[in-house]
Chain A
Amino acid sequence: MRERNQTIRDEDHELVSLCKKGDVDAFEALVKKHQKRMLNIAYRMVGNYEEACEIVQDAFISAYRSMKRFKGKAKFSTWLSAIVMNLSKNRLKQLKAQLHREQYSIDNPVLTKGDPASSEPSALEKLEKRDIQQKVQGCIDSLDDEFREVVVLRDIQGFSYDEIGHLLKVPEGTVKSRLFRAREVLKDCLKQVIGDL
């Protein structure tokens, strides 16, 4: 689990202040800094790369328009994640109405974590790894929205329970109980699609 660096002062505070004064370059710096994390949140939520890119674009534009209303009660990254999460959930509702969800994602994201060239896995290993990744994503996709969002935020993105509660506007206890059930469902799903874990 990735540990988040908890600081009292938001590290984006200065950039956010500049943005509020109309500094577009400061906003560009924020986009550059957070786009990858936001894209990963969106992708794990909707399970589609192109859709995730669209969501992230809309989220940044929405954040830019609402920047003056950002009071700094939470970190900028948390606030931005909440926007991405809301847009993702809205998009999911639309997609559910349009598409028949496949068991597994057929989408082919740009994967970046590669081993060094010296120890590059064989083609078979690559295929196996990709297959596992797709199965895991498939299981995540199969979760109910309220389970999926806590798994994405806690187990994939490493937000604290407090941040997740603030972000989803639910009590911390609710986050924990949802996470417990989500993990159980996910475990059962993975057992089914992968076999023995």
Chain B
Amino acid sequence: MECSDIQQRLSAYIEGSVSSEEEGLIEEHLKACQQCSESLADLKKTLEYVQNLEEIEPPPWLKQKVMARVRSEAEAKRGIFQRVFYPLHIKLPIEALAVIFIVVTTIYVFKTMQPELELAKAPSEEVRPRILVAKKEKAPALDKGKPAPARPTEKVMGAEEQEIAVEDYAEPKPPARIAEGEQLRPSAGAVAQDELKRKSLSSELRLAMVERKGEGVRFTLTVLNIETASKEIEDALLQLNGRIVKREHVENRNFLTAELDSQNMKELYENLKLIGDIDEKEVDYEAWEGDREITIEILKKP
């Protein structure tokens, strides 16, 4: 081995990190080479100086300063945690109250909104007849003073036509206009009152329809046998090209509603007189025009 090779390996040789074979070669060389032996001695001395450097002692304040900063940071972290969750004995009741408040408010808002939402969903039936009544109230006002027979052009509305009319009136009216003249009560207890209102309006509708029919013709026929008489009357109506609109049986009496051309009204009247006792006074039916609704009440003779 050359001196340069030996000197490069001296650092490892000192630490004992060379193989035994290499160690033997180095030692053999060192015995013969003064220069490399001096290099080894210098290296050993250098390491001795370095390793004998005295250790310095940390100042007492070093740990205190470090821990002061560490504790300060730990407190800051804990501070955020505490602000959010502690002290529980104060935060929990506040949070519980907040939850209760939110729940109560939600229920109140929901109950307040519910009736309005239902109205908004569909202009319900109870509103529609109201419109019809309003219309009904206005119509006679315009024709006030005119006798009924003097209004031959006014068509007596059938049930189907009434439905159509109701639709026609109701459709273009927004809920706001529907509410005119009637107080909607959007309150928590509104449901029961809505039900009452519905019943009241239904009665008004029936009344309106009766009044409407009153503009047609109404007979009351007293017969021996209601069922037989009813069939005979229906046959008579059909023969006169009449159209049966409705059949009703209420408390031992039949109601028969039909539409009939005014021109055939007199003949019907004559036929009815043959079937039973009629209480309707004879009217000048020939002055009438178009179809008329007639309602025949069929009573059993006492």
A residues near B, CB below 8 A? 1-2, 22, 24, 27-28, 31-32, 35-36, 39-40, 43-44, 49, 52-53, 56-57, 60-61, 64-65, 109-113, 132-133, 136-137, 140, 151, 155-156, 176, 179-180, 183, 186-187, 190-191, 194, 197
Contact = CB atoms under 8 A, between A and B. Distances in A.
A31 B63 contact: yes
A43 B56 contact: yes
A61 B69 contact: yes
B62 A187 contact: no
Given A110-B56, A110-B57, 6 more contacts: A112-B56, A113-B55, A136-B50, A136-B53, A140-B50, A183-B46
Contacts of B70: 24, 27-28, 60-61, 64
Contact of A155 (B45, B51, B56, B58): B51
B2 to A, nearest CB: 16
A112 B66 contact: no
A133 B54 contact: yes
Contacts of A156: 50-51, 53
Given A60-B70, A61-B70, A183 B56 contact: no
B59 to A, nearest CB: 6
Nearest to A25: B67
The SS class assigned to the A binding surface is helix
Interface in B65-109: 65-67, 69-71, 73-74
A27 to B, nearest CB: 6
Across the A-B interface, the 4 shortest Cβ-Cβ residue pairs: A197-B45, A109-B56, A112-B57, A187-B46
Interface residues of B, number: 30
A143 to B, nearest CB: 11
Contacts of A187: 42-43, 46
Contacts of A176: 11-12
Contact of B47 (A1, A64, A112): A1
Given A110-B57, A113-B55, A155-B50, A24 B71 contact: yes
16 contacts: A1-B51, A2-B51, A24-B67, A27-B67, A39-B62, A40-B56, A53-B62, A56-B58, A57-B62, A57-B66, A110-B59, A113-B55, A180-B11, A183-B47, A190-B46, A194-B49
A39 B56 contact: yes
Given A1-B47, A39-B62, A155-B47, A137 B53 contact: yes
Interface string B260-274: 000000000000000
Contact of B58 (A1, A24, A53, A191): A53
A140 B42 CA distance: 16
Contacts of B63: 28, 31-32, 35
Given A60-B66, A179-B11, A190 B49 contact: yes
A57 B67 contact: no
A151 B73 CA distance: 35
B56 A35 contact: no
B15 interface: yes
B228 interface: no
Contacts of B12: 176, 180
Contacts of B74: 22, 24
B115 to A, nearest CB: 56
B20 interface: no
B132 to A, nearest CB: 78
Contacts of A40: 55-56
Given A110-B59, A113-B55, A137-B53, A57 B46 contact: no
Contact of A111 (B49, B56, B62, B71): B56
Nearest to B69: A61
A117 to B, nearest CB: 17
